C-alpha cells in the first residue's frame, strides 16, 4: 500500500468544515490535499477500502471530491465487491453519492 494512503489512514476521517474553523485548519486541509494529490490513478481495492473510511460526514473544503475521484478509480471486476466498498463508507451522504454515481455508470454502460 502506498505511503500517502497510509499517511491518510493515520490522519483519520476528515472533519466536517465549519464556519467556526480557525486558521489552524489550513494546515490540516493542506496536509490532506497534498497527500491526495500525490496518489496516481488507479488505486487498488485495499487502498480504496482505506480511503473510503476518511470521507467527512458532509464536506471538508472540497477535498471530498478528490477523495471521490480516487475511490471511483478502483479496478474491481466483482460488482458485489464494489458495493461492499461503497457500503463501508461511514458517511451516509457520500455513500448515497457513490451509489447514485455507480447506478448512473451502470445505466450508461448498458
pLDDT tens for 22-47 read: 888 999 999 999 999 999 999 999 99
User: Is the link from the previous residue into 42 a cis peptide, with omega within 30 of 0?
Assistant: yes
Among residues 62, 63, 61, 93, which one has the least CA distance to residue 51?
63
Rg (CA), the chain: 14
Lowest mean pLDDT across 3-12, 16-25, 38-47, 85-94: 16-25
Tally of domains within the chain: 1
- Rounded to whole angstroms, how far apart are CA atoms 84 and 74? 13
Cell readout for 17 is: 468544515
- DSSP H or E stretch at residue 7: helix 3-11
**23 three-state secondary structure:** coil
The CA distance from 88 to 40, in Å, is 22
Can you give the residue range of the structural domain that contains 51? 3-16+23-109
The pTM score is: 0.93
Mean pLDDT (whole number) for 53-78: 95
CA 90 – CA 110 distance, rounded (Å)? 30
Amino acid at each position: 500500500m502506498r505511503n500517502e494512503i497510509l499517511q491518510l489512514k493515520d490522519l483519520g476521517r476528515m472533519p466536517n468544515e465549519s464556519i467556526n474553523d480557525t486558521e489552524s485548519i489550513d494546515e490540516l486541509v493542506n496536509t490532506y490535499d497534498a497527500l491526495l494529490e500525490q496518489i496516481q490513478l488507479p488505486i487498488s481495492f485495499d487502498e480504496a477500502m482505506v480511503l473510503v473510511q476518511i470521507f467527512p460526514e458532509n464536506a471538508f473544503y472540497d477535498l471530498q471530491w478528490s477523495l471521490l475521484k480516487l475511490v471511483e478509480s478502483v479496478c474491481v471486476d466483482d460488482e458485489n465487491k464494489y458495493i461492499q466498498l461503497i457500503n463501508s463508507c461511514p458517511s451516509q451522504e457520500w455513500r448515497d453519492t457513490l451509489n447514485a454515481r455507480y447506478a448512473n455508470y451502470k445505466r450508461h454502460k448498458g
